[in-house]
């Protein structure tokens, strides 16, 4: 099977949140679909091991905030590659509590949808949660981020808990490697690839900056690992 065929399925990029008794958690998701129009329902897949999964099961509510193309990798890394069991993901994040009691992310977001859980289905490593939309609004007219944009433009990777994660999907072809004039470096913690041709504009690293020329205090934009945790891409 050519697993690249799976990459032709369109995805968006969202922050999924839930909360109960003033306790909140959230994570990055892209397996989201509108299931029906009347009533409006939304389905989302969440790994069993994720803390957000537990929050949704307990509170019976969830909210989806649609990320913009200009959302920083730090924001994505905070919600996508860190655990709410270890840190407060909402520290320093601009958000408000919605009608359903779950957080609504306010920065770098195109729109939000608040949902109440009406059904769920166990599908192996993940649960598909089905929610009835009770509220929503548009926060920006800028372009929402797709997974393709995150992958090809931002250089982002999929965590192993993602429903679409494939172990070998991040390998690039020999032809692509031969066309690169500067070496790429891979974060050994989360898999983020620093591409000198793209740089890290969010952190002031201009396109064309070699990895060796990056300041020593620079950290991985996704997981916060230091330069010492990067290895040259084979």
For residue range 160-186, what is the model confidence (pLDDT) as tens digits?
Answer: 656 665 554 444 443 344 444 689 999
* Per-residue pLDDT at 164: 60
Per-residue pLDDT, 189 = 83
Only one residue has tokens 């089905």, namely: 130
Q: What span, in angstroms and rounded, lies between the C-alpha atoms of 162 and 166?
A: 9
Q: Which two tokens stand for residue 98?
A: 């919605």
For the chain, the C-alpha Rg in angstroms (whole number) is 18
Degrees to nearest 5, angle at CA 205 with 196 and 146: 75
Give residue 43's pLDDT.
Answer: 98
- The conformation of residue 89, written as its DSSP 8-state character, comes to T
196 Cβ contact list (under 8 Å, min separation 6): 182, 183, 184, 207, 208, 209, 210, 211
Q: What pTM does this model have?
A: 0.79
Q: Which of 90, 69, 87, 43 is CA-nearest to residue 156?
A: 69
Q: Please provide residue 148's backbone torsions phi and psi, each rounded to the nearest 5 degrees.
A: -60, -40
CA distance 230 to 211: 10
Which pLDDT score is estimated for 129? 98
Give pLDDT, residue 82: 87
Site of tokens 């996508």: 80
- Nearest-angstrom CA–CA distance, 230 and 93: 27
CB atoms within 10 A of CB 23: 12
Task: Give the angle subtended at the CA of 151 by the CAs of 147 and 155, to the nearest 5°.
Answer: 145
Stretches in the chain below the pLDDT threshold 70? 7, 156-181
For 148, which DSSP code? H
Q: How far apart are CA 180 and CA 194, in angstroms?
A: 13
């Amino acid at each position: 099977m050519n697993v690249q065929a799976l990459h032709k399925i369109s995805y968006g990029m969202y922050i999924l949140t839930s909360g109960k008794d003033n306790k909140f958690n959230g994570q990055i998701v892209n397996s989201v679909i509108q299931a029906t129009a009347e009533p409006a329902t939304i389905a989302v897949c969440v790994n069993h091991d994720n803390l957000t999964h537990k929050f949704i099961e307990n509170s019976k509510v969830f909210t989806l905030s649609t990320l913009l193309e200009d959302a920083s990798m730090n924001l994505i890394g905070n919600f996508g590659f860190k655990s709410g069991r270890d840190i407060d993901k909402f520290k320093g994040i601009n958000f408000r509590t919605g009608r359903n009691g779950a957080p609504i992310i306010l920065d770098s977001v195109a729109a939000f949808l608040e949902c109440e859980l009406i059904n769920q289905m166990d599908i192996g490593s993940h649960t598909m949660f089905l929610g009835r939309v009770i509220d929503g609004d548009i926060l920006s007219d800028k372009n929402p981020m797709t997974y393709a944009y995150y992958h090809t433009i931002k250089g982002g990777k999929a965590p192993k808990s993602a429903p679409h994660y494939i172990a070998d999907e991040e390998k690039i072809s020999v032809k692509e490697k031969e066309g690169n004039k500067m070496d790429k470096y891979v974060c050994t913690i989360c898999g983020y690839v620093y591409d000198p041709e793209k740089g890290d504009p969010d952190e002031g690293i201009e396109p064309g900056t070699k990895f060796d020329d990056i300041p020593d205090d620079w950290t991985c934009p996704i997981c916060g690992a230091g330069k010492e945790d990067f290895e040259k891409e084979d």
